[in-house]
Structure 1
Amino acid sequence: MSKNPLFDEMNERSLEVFRRVVEGYLETGAPVGSRTLTRSMSEKVSAATIRNVMQDLEFLGLLGSPHISAGRVPTQSGLRLFVDGLLEVSSPNNDDRSKIEETLGTNESDVGTLLDRVGSALSGVTHGASLVLTPKHEAPIRHVEFVSLGPDRALVVLVFGDGHVENRIFTPPPGQTPSSMREAANFLNSIVEGHTLSELGRVIQREIASRRQEIDTLARDLVESGAAVWTNEGEPTERLIVRGRGNLLSSDESGEDLERIRALFDDLERKRDIAEFLELTEGGEGVRIFIGSENKLFSLSGSSLVVSPYMNADRKIIGAVGVIGPTRLNYGRVVPIVDYTAQLIGRMLSDRS
């Protein structure tokens, strides 16, 4: 149990009332009333006694009453206290594990496609929206090539030292010619060897500044626009895969809830702060839970996020996987599923490397 000092303010009866209110709310999404609790308490107590306990818990900031004469619901502080100190977590059941494992049991060579399938399975199993931050390919680059696909479309081919090849379509600056594309590719191939994608942006800017006279304006513009694609700045090669948005909608949502969900959808559509999503996992292994406004990425929507990093064979964090949903998530079920999925992805990527 957590060492939160609020537990010192609670006796066995108030602790049981608090736990049953939270569990009832997480199960139904509805306020829990005193009469309901009289039927489930371990000792026989009156509804009036339970109401008094609820008032004390409300004074501590752990419960709230959405309407006059209604039952109680946990506050954000109450949910945090429950998750940190009372949440019972078990292993994922066999059915949930097999649904996740099936997505990785194929011969699909593209990691992004595999992780897309994992995200779809994760959203299906948890009934929330899944978020998967895919790893950057960090092997050194061996060769770069530009291919014109039309006046406003071009392909950049990246060949890595480990044999991995990536093709990315982007919109080149206007006026590009076959000769400017060759010049841009030649310039890049003279500097890329031994550098990873993460390093390449800084190297390009430094080399362009020092060798400005060696490369004409068209080729320089192409190099810089290509670099934006490699670092995924607004292009369709986003590293954050979002699946299962529809799971966040239900027929009984209130108007206020729907507005929060729309705000969440807007955040997910823009896929902002991808780097910050990975920062949420700082602190090493293990699942982290962000409830409501604690979740700095999606705080306006009042949602909860359960997220875990996954690691490569060198125990380096290279990505993250998570589930986002309403604050009344079934934390006891979602937490072990997210943890299991992160470990499974890490093992899969380690085996491939």
Structure 2
Amino acid sequence: MSQSLGPQRLYSLDALRGFDMFWIMGGERIFHALSKATDNPFWNGLSHQFSHPDWNGFRFYDLIFPLFLFIAGVATPYSVGRQLEKGVSRQKLLWRVIKRGLILVVLGIIYNNDLRIQPISEMRFGSVLGRIGLAYMFANIIYLYTKSQRSRMIWAGSLLLGYWIILLCASAPGFPAGDLTIEGNFASYFDRLFLPGKLYVNNIHDPEGLFSTIPAIATGLLGILTGGFLKNSSFSPAAKAARIFVTGAILIVIAQVWNLVFPINKNLWSSSFALQVGGLSMVLLAIFYYIIDVKGYKKWAFFFVVIGMNSILIYMSGHFIDWKNTTNAFFEWLIQLSGDPYGAVAFVFCYIAVKWAFLYFLYKKKVFLKV
């Protein structure tokens, strides 16, 4: 979500958002292409990290989606918080937050189903943008109506513990309490009952379903807590970076312990998964913040900032722009010169370059899609 942070804007946050979106706009294809071209164990291993586990487990690619939600949370104290400080009423900000959340839900439905007219039973309503929209919305509502970091921390902890307790004590009919299989877990059963349309996995489970949005709200709150600390803490910038890094490392350790009884699982957005990705997001933010905003090394990050400033646009663009044909139109000669098996690798780099050039043009023209 591209939000303006105004005069206090964190360049590192735009860069981190762009780093996150880089993998979605095609960066992961680099490793897949190199793995296929070389069959080298090193590239094979990296390629493996840019895929999702079937159920339990964690790979780097699982971080990309929740990192975006975390970043949206970090921006909240700088955007919504600044409006509160200016005297804008909570009710006005509430409707603004709800509108943003619902727009993202609608964009997610469009992303899944295009603009085709079709029966509701054939549509998929769960989506990445929908999950971000709902989790962002509820996390921001909590932010608006709580007055302290402590209260928000209690909310985040309660959501994670409550979700765990429900999944521990309940299940789908015919399965033992606490069943965490794809068919037997309560979250999937809830979505089969209440989420309209079709579910993503064989119509029995949706990784962006309704019930598993509960712990995702906590992911957004972790971002809000981090943003509040960055904005309001009296610590020096370097000390802030260090404390965020250490806190992230602690959350990762807690996630590994929780994993023993509540497996790290992106499909369920398990509480251990929420802490794992929250901790990793903090570690990444601390590194970006320290290098860019504390030490002042900004030039290297410009590539990512251009992406981060139009993150929603580039995510949606594949439904309206044929990037493959556009890339071939400009660079088919280079891809042919590269030959087999490296022509596919050359294509990926050209594919990313074409997208980035498009975003750079919009950046120079100051054209940004904001929700």
TM (norm. structure 2) is 0.23
The structure in which a higher percent of residues are strand is 1
Q: If you compute each CA radius of gyration, which structure gives the higher value, 1 or 2? A: 1
The structure in which a higher percent of residues are helix is 2
TM (norm. structure 1) is 0.24
